[in-house]
Amino acid sequence: MRQIKIVVAGAAALALFAQAAAAQERVISTQTGRIKVETLTSDLTHPWGLAFLPDRHMLVTERPGRLRIVTPDGSVSQPLKGVPRVFASGQGGLLDVALDPNFASNRLVYLSYAEPGQGGASTAVARGRLSEDGLVEVKVIFSQQPKVTGGQHFGGRLVFARDGKLFITTGDRGKFDPAQDLSSHIGKIIRINPDGSAPRDNPFVNRKDAKAEIWSYGHRNAQGAALHPQTGVLWENEHGPRGGDEINIPEAGKNYGWPLVSWGNHYSGQPIAKPNTRPDLVDAIRQWTPVIAASGMAFYTGDAFRTWRGNLLVGGLTSRGIVRLTLDGPKVTGEERIGLGARVRDVRQGPDGAVYVLTDESDGKILRLSPA
């Protein structure tokens, strides 16, 4: 396939690669057995998102603004061409990557990123066609409005629904109140068609005082999202303030409360009204206080970890590992924390059934988890 030529097209191309880190393995114990943790590479700078290509190579973003291809054995390509200019400050930069559902025929790749512009920066999504040299025909299909100052809370996860619509998580940009303002994209879950247009069945599409792309609102900083494997419904997680990280199942048109309510408090220590005081707002199905700093997440459906089937795997930045949740429908029935000794930015199930983890470090790693 053409994307392989970028990575392994003979001796001349191989000269472009950073050397893969020497194979490192360790074994850790969990409630369901021992796990082998392999370091595929440590040659990435704050990797943020990962998507598997059909040939099992990986597209990986680095927050400073680089997109690379990583081979299954951990060789890392030079940065691909065509990536939009990013606002690489604070939590901003190049964020998630996702393949079009019809990638095999159209080779379209979607990137979320912090986009600089008049007034500051905002979360944006661009798509381009993957060629032998990188991305071509790149076009911005969504740009969060308004742009504001600061480097906080961009959200940025990309998830394609089964009907082909694209969900985009955004954050409140550290501005609080706009998360409740339907005339702003700030602090919302966004749902668009792959070309960037608003679906006709979006909840606010016919309201002149609301952004047509909004799916749900009242979100603080949603950095993890995944489709439930049985229902096809979107789940997301988001950072709380001082306490109150959440998992939500965002429904069309619903208000998830921020900053009116939270299970956490402001960093100043000032209390915030608790969700159970506002039955008109939708409460989380799970909250963590103290926080885990929830990030990328995935439902596990593979064969390698049979006892994990149907579990939700949530990356933790401050908890420095994976949080494994057992579920009964929308109810969380149990939790295990699997320590990896690093800030976990993204969690993905690989085509081989192993679990792949990105670590948020200047020498960021791709870890491969498999039964020992």
Phi, psi of 81 (to 5 degrees): -80, 160
pLDDT greater than 90 at residue 18: no
* CA distances from residue 342 to 237, 299, 359 in whole angstroms, order as listed: 19, 21, 6
Name the band, by pLDDT with cuts 50, 70 and 90, for residue 24: confident
The residues annotated as belonging to the active site are: 153
Tens of pLDDT along 46-69? 999 999 999 999 999 999 999 999
pLDDT for position 19: 41
Q: How far apart are CA 138 and CA 129, in angstroms?
A: 7
Of residues 22 and 135, more confidently modeled? 135
Is residue 10 included in any domain, yes or no? no
Name the band, by pLDDT with cuts 50, 70 and 90, for residue 13: very low
pLDDT greater than 70 at residue 21: no
Is residue 19 included in any domain, yes or no? no
Instruction: List 98's β-bridge partners, or say none.
Output: 110
Is residue 17 included in any domain, yes or no? no
Is residue 310 included in any domain, yes or no? yes
271-305 burial code (b ≥16 CB/10 A, e <16): ebeebeeeeebbbbbbbbeebbbbbbbbbbeeebb
SS3 assignment for the chain: CHHHHHHHCCHHHHCCCECCCCCEEEEEEECCEEEEEEEEEEEECCEEEEEECCCCCEEEEECCCEEEEECCCCCECCCCECCCCCCCCCCCCEEEEEECCCHHHHCEEEEEEEEEECCEEEEEEEEEEECCCEEEEEEEEEECCCCECCCCCCCCCEEECCCCCEEEECECCCCCHHHHCCCCCCCEEEEECCCCCCCCCCCCCCCCCCCCCEEEECCCEEEEEEECCCCCCEEEEECCCECCEEEECCCCCCECCCCCCCCCECCCCCCCCCHHHCCCCCCCCEEECCCCCEEEEEECCCCCCHHHCCCEEEEECCCCEEEEEEEECCEEEEEEEEECCCCEEEEEECCCCCEEEEECCCCEEEEEEEEC
Average pLDDT, the chain: 94
Is residue 114 included in any domain, yes or no? yes
Is residue 150 included in any domain, yes or no? yes
Is there a contact between 234 and 227 (Cβ–Cβ < 8 Å)? yes
Which of these ranges, 20-34, 146-160, 257-271, has the smallest mean pLDDT?
20-34
Number of domains in the chain: 1
Tens of pLDDT along 140-162? 999 999 999 999 999 999 999 99
pLDDT greater than 60 at residue 23: no
Is residue 207 included in any domain, yes or no? yes
pTM of the predicted protein model: 0.94
Is there a contact between 219 and 178 (Cβ–Cβ < 8 Å)? no
pLDDT greater than 70 at residue 3: no
Is residue 20 included in any domain, yes or no? no
Q: Is the dihedral of CA 110, 113, 116, 118 positive or negative?
A: positive
In this prediction, residues 214-243 reach a mean pLDDT of 98
In this prediction, residues 245-264 reach a mean pLDDT of 98
Instruction: Look up the domain containing 86 and give its range.
Output: 26-371
The CATH number of the domain where 299 resides is what? 2.120.10.30
